[in-house]
Amino acid sequence: MGYYDLSKEERVHVYKTMEGNITFDVKQNKIDYLLQYAADQDTYIRKNAYLIMGRLYHSNPPLQEAVLQIAEKLLAHDDEKIRQTIVNALGEIGKKDASSVMAFFEKALFDEHHSVRNAVIGSFKKMGKVNPKPVLSISKKYLHHPDPEIRREVIHGIELRGRTHPEEVLPLLKEVQFETVKRVRNMIIHVIGQISYKEGCLEKVVQALREWENKELVQGAIIEIIDVHHRYMDFSDKTAEEAKIYISRHL
């Protein structure tokens, strides 16, 4: 039976039990319960585990070093679910204390399993929303990495910050406008679309694209921007037609 197959009262009991067990593990510098929860088949049990680790880190400073030591140990575990859970926990920590976890992310970026690398992207997204400087800094560091998947991941990781502050990520995207690998180039176009549809954002994106030299990529971005305004019509500041008209007048 999955976590959300339980009643609300049962879920509260399970969560409090997990919280007590994980706290015990950390205080005793053990990993018995954490291994069980972090490898659970149920996504929500794993989510509870990484949320609890993040809250424990922030609410109990004397345990912070122990949390980080356990995280370092489990990032080397053979089970990708455990590594994925730990990366998500580090993302929770990094919302407020990025300096303590960025070295872990630099290791996890190169993990052999896609789910762990995707967890890095997810962590960058949620960190970038509230604590953007470290995320933008590490993204800039890897924008030109020889491995195209690393380039793609860090570009994807700045998307969420760009949705509200496109002016902060557009200079990074401009740096890679001549990307030659299709999968990475498509991610650049995707992110441009994603940072264009909220109030005040299309204007900033269009102003920036006017200065780009790669007109072929800009044309692909225009198509994506208009399509995003259509797909997200219930959330967009402008309709797809309004976006199209604005672009034609200003770009």
d(C-alpha 102, C-alpha 48), whole Å: 22
**Residues whose CB is less than 8 angstroms from the CB of residue 160 and which lie 6 or more positions away in sequence, other chains included:** 125, 126, 128, 129
d(C-alpha 234, C-alpha 237), whole Å: 9
Nearest CA to 111 out of 73, 137, 146, 150 is that of 150
Percent pLDDT > 70 in the chain is: 100
pLDDT digits 0-9 by tens, 55-67: 999 999 999 999 9
pLDDT digits 0-9 by tens, 158-206: 999 999 999 999 999 999 999 999 999 999 999 999 999 999 999 999 9
d(C-alpha 222, C-alpha 206), whole Å: 9
d(C-alpha 170, C-alpha 228), whole Å: 17
pTM (whole model) above 0.85: yes
pLDDT digits 0-9 by tens, 12-25: 999 999 999 999 99
